[in-house]
Structure 1
Amino acid sequence: MLTDAENKPVYELDAGRRAVALTIDDGPDPRYTPAVLALLQRYGIRATFFLIGENVVEHAALVREIADCGHHIGNHTWTHPDLRHMSEGAVRDELERTSDLLHRTTGRQPTWFRAPGGDWSPVSLKVAADLGMRNMAWSVDPRDWARPGTSAITDRILKDVRPGSIVLNHDGGGDRSQTVAALKAYLPVLIDSGYFFTAPPN
Structure 2
Amino acid sequence: MKLKRRNIILSLIVVFALVFSGFGFTKMKALAAEDIRVTTANLNLRSGPGTTYAVIAVIPKGTSVTVQSTVNNWAKVTYAGKTGYSSMSYLVPVSTSVNDFRITTANLNFRSGPGTTYQILVVIPKGTTVNVISESNGWARFTYSGKTGYSSSYYLQKVSAADPVLYTRYTTDELNLRSGPGTSYPILRVMPKGSAVAVHRISGYWAYVTYDGTKGWCHTAYLSTGLSSIATNKGLVDRAGLDIALTFDAGWLFDQAIPILDVLDDYGIKATFFLRAYWVQDHQDLAKEIKARGHSIQNHSLTHPHMNTMTEAQIRYEFTESTKIYSNILGIRPTLFRPPFGEYNSTVLKVAGEQGYPYTVLWTVDTHDWAESINGVTVTTDYIVNRALSNASDNGIVLMHVAYAKTPEALPRIIQGLKDKGYSFRTVAEMLP
Q: TM exceeds 0.5?
A: yes
Which residues of 2 match residues 1-202 of structure 1 at below 5 A? 2-3=125-126, 4=194, 7-13=229-235, 14=237, 16=239, 17-27=241-251, 29-133=253-357, 134-147=359-372, 148-172=379-403, 176-201=404-429
Q: Given the two structures, how large is their TM-score scaled by the length of structure 1?
A: 0.91
Question: Within 2, Cα distance between the matches of 1:149 and 1:9?
Answer: 30
- Unmatched segments (≥5 aa) in structure 1: none
Q: Please give the root-mean-square deviation of Cα atoms over the aligned residues, in Å.
A: 1.8
- TM-aligned CA distance change 1:39 to 1:153, over 3 Å: same
Query: How many pairs does the alignment contain?
Result: 199
The one-letter amino acid paired with 1:48 is T
**Percentage of identical aligned residues:** 33
After the TM superposition, which parts of structure 1 deviate over 6 Å for at least 4 consecutive aligned residues? Answer: none
Greater relative contact order (Cα < 8 A, sep 6+): 1
Quote how far apart the aligned CAs of 1:190 are: 1.1
The one-letter amino acid paired with 2:234 is E
Question: Within 2, Cα distance between the matches of 1:142 and 1:37?
Answer: 18
Question: Within 2, Cα distance between the matches of 1:36 and 1:95?
Answer: 27
Question: Within 1, Cα distance between the matches of 2:420 and 2:428?
Answer: 22
The one-letter amino acid paired with 2:385 is T
* Other structure's SS at 1:146 match: coil
- TM-aligned CA distance change 1:34 to 1:27, over 3 Å: farther
* Other structure's SS at 1:163 match: coil
Which has the larger strand fraction? 2
Question: Within 2, Cα distance between the matches of 1:112 and 1:28?
Answer: 20
On the 8 A contact 1:28/1:62 being kept in 2, the answer is no
* Other structure's SS at 2:273 match: strand
Which has the larger helix fraction? 1
- Unmatched segments (≥5 aa) in structure 2: 1-123, 127-193, 196-227, 373-378
On the 8 A contact 2:312/2:347 being kept in 1, the answer is yes
The one-letter amino acid paired with 1:145 is W
